[in-house]
A and B are shown apart, each in its own frame.
Chain A
Amino acid sequence: MRSRPVYGELTPRPGSGHLFVADGEGAEAILDLFQKAGAQASSLLEKSHIIYMPGPNGTDFGARLEALGAAQYHRSPSFASAQSRLKKVLADAHMGLQIYLAGTEGLMGQAQRDVIEAGLPHEAVQTEHRGSTVRRVQCVHCKGITENVRTDPIKCSHCGLHLFVRDHYSRRLAAFQGVNIDAEDPGQVPAAVERFK
């Protein structure tokens, strides 16, 4: 599906500062990046700010990230709790800030949205998908977002409709689209299958 973003691999780049936002297994993409940086790693760390939260599957590599010794390290219990800090950092950003996002699609999508809203150039952002493939899904009917969706169909956590999870993805909403699966034949809901882990 052409509306889905394409993710890459984090690579150290020269910059005036380095902001990392990651969840779950995304921590390992950051650890790998510093490995790649070799002799440059320590000067990079002096200008690095890492914001990390556990993944939706519970994976928590916070201790290993903290041990890197970045200038700033912050662990949040969730993206929602990290968001005000992220927005402040983006608002204070200087020219040349490099941004590295790693982990689940939901985390990267939401962080990227804040980056775009802050008016930073998209060329400054790198992404790497690691870990869980659970989805953020927007119910097209009630507009509510259901987090960490594992199955298809799902029940909307807001209005309760049974939703088919499309591959159509909105970067603005950082969410996939959910459409009522039994609209034409109310009550005929197929069994949920685990599609995202």
Chain B
Amino acid sequence: MGMEFNKETFRKDFTFKNSAKAIKRFPFPFYEDSYMYSVNMEPHVPGPKGSVFEPMFDVDEHYVAEMQDRAMVLAEDPLRCQSLPHMTLAGWDLLELIMESKARDYPEWFELHKDGHNWHWINRPLGIDQKFTFLDESTLPYGPMEYITRQSQGDFTLQDQRDDNLWIEAGMVTTQADWSLDFDIGMSFHEWHAPVPRAHELGVFDRALKFLLKLQHGAPVRRFNWTLTVDPLLDTSPENYPKWGPMRADISPENVGERMYLRVELQTLHRLPRSNAIAFPIRCYLIRFDDLVTVPKWGRRLHRVLRDIPEDLATYKGFLRNRDSLVKWLSQYDDGAPTSTGWMAD
């Protein structure tokens, strides 16, 4: 079941492309024809074969290129990966979770051999063969969190739990929807979510925190989040906003299909066994509007969601200035037919 990994870029010439298979398995996030914040968490149990839910951590055709992009972001700005000193144990927990999951779910690509604390990790797609001592930082080229998240698609944050709260105190954040780890590190749950409109008033964060404080080891949960991005740029960081902000002004009715992307985050939450911290992988999937509307249900639904979304949410998600162009373009793909409940293609 060998897979070709795409040779592609997420910057400058933007050669990123989804294959027909990737379009078919795209995690379309809208369960119905409208959108509002909710806790919307469900158990992260293996989903249908071939779906992004099948493995614990999905590895897809973009894997190698995404890891190359991450290395470039980190070379430009090392502050995208930070871990407060007391979070190292949680980093080891995360390394173990990812290595065990990948070796189990993709044995042809990843192997993990353990002899007591002497571990041997093989990552074939990235050409890595590493022997190290578990829990001994000096035996790896980076700290444990940085080491393993340089080999895993998606952003990762680690939350310490104390005083009945969660504290974001470590993270690898290079594919983010416009938030800064460097600014938010050390904040409590409500503090780092402070800028989100409406959700506080809806009680979403109170309920989510209550739920997460009780999260059990071995029972991970998942939810979706989403936004829109111009061009397949993974690094939409606030740090680099002066570089990518002007791209938003390039959108016209003629180029919507080609240059607008739906950006979906598959967020999972895992209780870690030794540190009692919570790992929060935020996996980003991009799909070009032109590709998205090849699934009729998705085209209809995205049109209705963007047309009806409240203005403050469109502002927060950064597409208010282009909303009219997007809705007009998408309306070509909405014949008004009813759509079925759930996110699967009809």
Residue ranges of A at the interface with B (Cβ–Cβ < 8 Å): 1-4, 138, 140-141, 143, 161, 166-173, 177, 179-180, 183-186
Contacts and interface: CB of A to CB of B under 8 A. Distances in A.
Interface stretch (B153-161, B244-252, B272-280): B244-252
Interface stretch (B30-38, B98-106, B180-188, B292-300): B180-188
B182 A2 contact: no
A66 to B, nearest CB: 36
B11 interface: no
Nearest to B205: A2
Interface stretch (B67-75, B189-197, B260-268, B335-343): B189-197
Interface residues of B, number: 25
A66 B21 CA distance: 75
Chain B interface secondary structure, helix, strand, loop or mixed?
helix
B239 A177 contact: no
Contacts of B241: 140-141, 179-180, 183
B200 A161 contact: no
B242 interface: yes
A168 B190 CA distance: 11
B239 A184 contact: no
Contacts of B195: 1, 3, 166, 168
A140 B245 contact: no
A146 B238 CA distance: 18
Contacts of B240: 141
Contacts of B186: 170-172
Closest 4 pairs (CB-CB, A-B): A183-B245, A3-B194, A172-B186, A2-B194
B242 A140 contact: no
Given A1-B195, A3-B190, A168-B195, 11 more contacts: A2-B191, A2-B200, A138-B183, A141-B240, A161-B242, A171-B186, A172-B185, A180-B241, A180-B245, A183-B245, A184-B245
B185 A2 contact: no
Interface in B143-194: 180, 182-187, 190-194
Contacts of B182: 140, 143
B198 interface: no
Given A3-B187, A140-B183, A180 B193 contact: no
B194 A173 contact: no
A168 B183 contact: yes
B14 to A, nearest CB: 19
B245 A177 contact: no
A179 B249 contact: no
Contact of A177 (B79, B183, B248): B183
Given A1-B194, A2-B200, A173 B242 contact: no
B253 to A, nearest CB: 18
Nearest to A175: B183
Nearest to A159: B242
Given A140-B180, A183-B246, A2 B239 contact: no
Given A2-B200, A141-B241, A170-B183, A184 B192 contact: no
Nearest to B192: A3
Interface string B322-345: 000000000000000000000000
A185 to B, nearest CB: 6
A186 B180 CA distance: 22
Nearest to B243: A183
B114 interface: no
B25 interface: no
B113 interface: no
B321 interface: yes
Contacts of A141: 238-242
B324 to A, nearest CB: 16
A43 to B, nearest CB: 33
Nearest to A179: B238
Contacts of B193: 2
A61 to B, nearest CB: 32
Contacts of A185: 246, 249
A183 B248 CA distance: 10
Nearest to B77: A143
B15 to A, nearest CB: 25
B252 to A, nearest CB: 15
Contacts of A172: 185-187
A185 B79 CA distance: 27
Given A140-B180, A141-B239, A177-B180, A168 B194 contact: yes
B187 A171 contact: yes
